[in-house]
A and B are shown apart, each in its own frame.
Chain A
Amino acid sequence: MSTYQIAGALRGGRRRVAVADPVMTAAGCVVALVVLVALLAPLIAPYDPNAVDPAAVYAGPSGAHWLGTDDTGRDILSRLIHGARPSLIAPAAVVLLATAAGTTLAIAAAWAGGWVDRVISGVLDVIFGFPGLIMAVVAATIFGPGLLVPVLAMSIAYVPLIARVLRNSALKERNLPYIAALQLLGTPTWRIWLRHLLPNLLPIVTVQATVGFGYALLDIAAISFIGLGAQPPQAEWGLMVSSGYPGILSGQAGQVLYSGITIVVIVIAFNLLGSGLSRKLLGEGL
């Protein structure tokens, strides 16, 4: 095998040319905007998210309250803006933890092969049998409600989603000649992992993490909705849908509508960003 081939293989994964993709750009802008809103929440929110105004209960949209107020007269827009922080940080933590663990396990399984691979794949299969929601509910039963515990439980549930795809790609990468060449050169294993395998797997990791973020946001919001995640009076989107529910029965749909639309728009933005990244980085649609 020639050095030319090795160099070619090493360059793999970074050869795609950037092509303009309007849908992906729009999705990226939505994501950037929401992150900005979360960062600047106290500066841009017109009201304190927990400021109660007994004189303006269930007020409709107006100049003073753009999206109206909720059942205790709190400004819905301000609560949505402040809610961006927990609503985004929680799924981000899930994806970060699951991706870190999933990538490590996938590379380890592909690298070692044999019984290590079988054990890791077996454990992933068992975890895959647990719907994330159930895992979070069991965890909340034991440790009590709050965002932290469901986030940790959900991270475990997301590990197989990341690791299964990645293991196959890592296996392909591991069997490429450049890895054997690096081993023959006496490159330490950790160096091959960090400097060669990981960078070449990074496009797939990025796509998986982006798509996973949308699903994690839905799952965490669902946990808060059923009352086992964020606790009142915290402003969090899933919790806002649930506390707006009684209003529905008396014809007050505002809070549910606005917090619901916020969730849907952001999840769609992440899904589109993920499939755009997939086309761009991997050269294939999702």
Chain B
Amino acid sequence: MSRFLLTRVAGLVIILAVASVAIYGSMLLAPGDPATLLVGGGKPPNPELIASIHREYHLDDPFAVRYWRWLTGVLQGDFGPSLAYRDSVNHLLAERISNTLTLVGYASAIILLVGITLGTAGALRGGRFETSATAISAGAMAVPTFVIGALLAYVFGVRLSWFAPSGSGSGISGAFRYLTLPAVALAFSWIGYVAQITRTSVRAELRSEHVETADSRGIPRPGVIRRHVLRNASGPIFAVSGIAIAGLTATTAVVEKAFGISGIGALLVDAAAKQDLATVQAISLIMVASFVVLNTLVDLVTALLDPRVLKGRPS
């Protein structure tokens, strides 16, 4: 176990280190002076400003020195200044991160609730219900987030006015009013994915010998489903849900942009349009890190839940 843990964590650290070099080093690919990117706006500013940016960002130091300075700052939670927004990147993030976290949390809850219910019901009821549930989830995976978002905004926001079609609100009622449609849009394609895996793994458990035995011993059906079927099917369901939630992080950029939510995803897109590299680097690193960390956590918890995974893996 400890060996497995150690290799996974070491792998995580290596991937994060390489990712940080790639994200910071992307600056080297820039045509011309990287200082123009740090100013943002894409236009060449006056030479004095360029010179002061060179001093402020130590752009004349060797790359390794600059990278190290940036990384130590990031590890201490300091992402430096954003010149395009005339603000510190930290402040920009602090204002927006709670909206993004609420959105991701809301969407994750929807994915788990609807995906697992739909998948389990499909496997248990079988027949036409299962066929249509499968078809719908396969179709849902092909609908882009921004299209379902637009349709939800039109039907439930504009036509029915149940929810706000765009913008941000505060508090729980604000989250419900403004974040429900974006959360559903964000969750939509992943619901199908989780439902699909839930259905196949529940189906496989239903056919297994221990469930047949439990059934033949006359144990009531709901008890068999809960204690024998769902419990054994929970491994793959958990793994897929974890991957789904990790995959949400990047898609927040699309959803926040579509619904006009002030979160870090929308900030990433706006900063990219302004060619504000400092902000883009910070948010990309945060998103890549949360994606990789969540994936590793899922692996670790899956291994803890099911010791067979450990044995099956070449260490």
Contacts and interface: CB of A to CB of B under 8 A. Distances in A.
Interface residues on chain B, size class = 35 or more
B146 A131 contact: no
Interface stretch (A35-43, A64-72, A105-113, A242-250): A242-250
B255 to A, nearest CB: 10
Contacts of A268: 138-139, 142
Interface in A212-230: 214, 218, 221-222, 225-228
Interface stretch (B27-35, B58-66, B85-93, B124-132): B27-35
B287 A131 contact: yes
Interface in A256-277: 256-257, 260, 263-264, 267-268, 271
Given A141-B280, A260-B144, A268-B139, A249 B288 contact: no
Contacts of A188: none
B249 A131 contact: yes
Interface residues of A, number: 42
B23 A214 contact: no
Contact of B272 (A140, A214, A238, A267): A140
B182 interface: no
A37 to B, nearest CB: 19
A260 B147 CA distance: 5
A225 B254 contact: yes
B165 A142 contact: no
B133 to A, nearest CB: 16
B288 A130 contact: yes
A134 B250 contact: yes
Contact of A226 (B11, B22, B269): B269
Contact of A133 (B22, B26, B251, B275): B251
A141 B277 contact: yes
Given A142-B277, A227-B269, A256-B150, A137 B253 contact: yes
A267 B145 CA distance: 13
B146 A238 contact: yes
Nearest to B138: A271
A245 B247 CA distance: 25
A110 to B, nearest CB: 17
B180 to A, nearest CB: 17
Contacts of A249: 153, 158, 165-166
Interface of B: 11, 14-15, 18-19, 22-23, 26-27, 29-31, 37, 42, 138-139, 141-147, 150-151, 153-154, 158-159, 165-166, 247, 249-251, 253-254, 257-258, 268-269, 271-273, 275-277, 280-281, 284, 287-288, 291-292, 295
Given A238-B144, A268-B139, 17 more contacts: A131-B287, A133-B250, A134-B288, A137-B268, A138-B23, A141-B37, A142-B275, A143-B31, A144-B275, A222-B145, A225-B146, A226-B269, A241-B147, A256-B154, A260-B144, A267-B142, A271-B138
Interface of A: 122, 125-126, 129-131, 133-134, 137-145, 214, 218, 221-222, 225-228, 238, 241-242, 244-245, 248-249, 251, 253, 256-257, 260, 263-264, 267-268, 271
